[in-house]
Structure 1
Amino acid sequence: MEKILIVEDEAAISKVLHAYLKKAGFETRIEVDGNMAMTAFKEWRPDLILLDVLLPYKDGWEILRDIRQESDCPIIMLTALDDVNYRLDGFNGGADDYIAKPFNGEEVVARVSAVLRRAGHKGEALRKFGGLEIDQEAYRVRLKGQEVELTPRDLALLLFLSEYPNKTFSRDQLIEQVWGWDYDGSDRAVDLSIKRLRKMLHFWSSEEGEIKTIRGVGYQFSVYIK
């Protein structure tokens, strides 16, 4: 079970984060100030840190700098300071992602999973959905035993969606998780990628699953048989 250190001095926020992450299968620990955060980091050795910026004793930027001097542990900055300059400071300082308050709990879980995946913490390597097999470790897709050739971006999108069966993601969320925070193109790229995936997977039985459009919301990897 992967360990997430939550460094947040607002109890209501830390409790929400704990609840969502625990439900998603993570082990969590909560610390409320900068000094305790550093102690917990050294003693507990988390797999990822959710780090608020405005903290007592030692702020999030200082903690980020201190940790980066000795570790590449993934760090997601969590703060109400939603300004592009703060984002750039975080990324330039070695942060892996940046989430502004207020946030959606499911989005936080998705971002935590994505950062862990990029850092090499993989979930279940081989996923089977009826006749569809998705091997995350080998970056390979098979449909009824036949190899499915996908572009790297389409494959990345399928890998992400299949990690969260029956969960809906907006175009913006998919752009951020698959294309990256610095992507400056149109969200039409998501629609085109979904269209290509559906074409390549058209032999996947509709009784087993489908990539569904949730009107007005986004897309969902809907699974009926695992």
Structure 2
Amino acid sequence: MKHVLLADDDPNIRALVRFVMTREGYQVHEAQDGAEAIKVMNRSPIDLAILDVMMPYMDGFELCGHIRQQFDIPIIMLTAKDQLPDKEQGYLRGTDDYVTKPFEPEELLFRVKALFRRYNRISSDTIRMNRITIDLQNIEVSDGQSVLLLPMKEFELLAQLAQYPGRLFSREDLIRLVWGADYEGDDRTVDVHIKRLRQRFANYADDFTIQTVRGIGYKIEVRGK
């Protein structure tokens, strides 16, 4: 299930968008201003944000810039302003699309689906687990603010588990997939590397966990998925 942040100070707009998105199977998290939206994103996994421009405490432009610094997710701006300078400001802050009020809810839904398709294509070489992004091409792990340096085998083990969230891998599977079929060492090396990964990502338990299935092996569970 995809999680959508809807930040708008108009309760009627929120109710309309919530109805359309929920009907399509999206989980909608609502905020009535920018400050509340930040709190929502800090406690919930968000896959796409829909932001009204004119909100109290923090407007949509500022909120968009804040989100773009922290998260790599699609952003749609809602606004009654359709002037080119306003749209330019939105795109410069990092928005992906712009919808002018009043709008047809179905059109907004089409744009949401299109952005998810686009991001899925762009992210073919990346794995996202909420704040954590695994870049398979550049062999990097980041939390949206900094790059987390991992030894190669730890990276390969994490990437193998993360590509298939919820799937159980035996130690033998992981040895074969990560260390290779000709590995002749103790399969308990998997346990050692799992322990190290858990220590490294102890502060990201709200994003994902590496779970042990006693006597069998390991799997990753991603929060909110």
TM-score by length of 2: 0.52
Distance 2:36 2:9 in 1: 11
Q: Percent identity?
A: 37
Q: How many angstroms does 1:121 deviate by? A: 7.7
Distance 1:45 1:83 in 2: 33
**Which is greater in Rg?**
2
Paired position in structure 1 for 2:15: 15
Paired position in structure 2 for 1:111: 111
- Choose between structure 1 and 2: higher helix proportion: 2
Distance 2:16 2:62 in 1: 25
* Letter in structure 1 aligned against 2:91: F
The 1:107/1:28 distance shift into structure 2, 3 A limit, reads same
Give deviations 1:159-210, integer Å, cap 9, x for gaps. xxxxxxxxxxxxxxxxxxxxxxxxxxxxxxxxxxxxxxxxxxxxxxxxxxxx
Aligned counterparts, 1:89-108, within 5 A: 89-108=89-108
Aligned to 1:98, the other structure's residue is in SS state strand
Paired position in structure 2 for 1:42: 42
Paired position in structure 2 for 1:196: none
Is 2:63 the partner of 1:63? Answer: yes
* Structure 1: 5+ residue stretches without partners: 123-226
Aligned pair count reads 122
Paired position in structure 1 for 2:4: 4
TM-score by length of 1: 0.52
Aligned counterparts, 1:153-192, within 5 A: none
Q: How many angstroms does 1:43 deviate by? A: 1.1
Is 2:82 the partner of 1:86? Answer: no
Aligned to 1:99, the other structure's residue is in SS state strand
Paired position in structure 2 for 1:26: 26
Distance 2:28 2:63 in 1: 19
* Letter in structure 2 aligned against 1:106: E
TM superposition outliers: structure 1 runs of 4+ over 2 Å: none
Q: How many angstroms does 1:45 deviate by? A: 2.1
Distance 1:50 1:111 in 2: 11
Q: How many angstroms does 1:93 deviate by? A: 1.4
Distance 2:42 2:27 in 1: 17
Paired position in structure 2 for 1:54: 54
Distance 1:11 1:78 in 2: 14
Distance 2:119 2:9 in 1: 27
* Structure 2: 5+ residue stretches without partners: 123-225
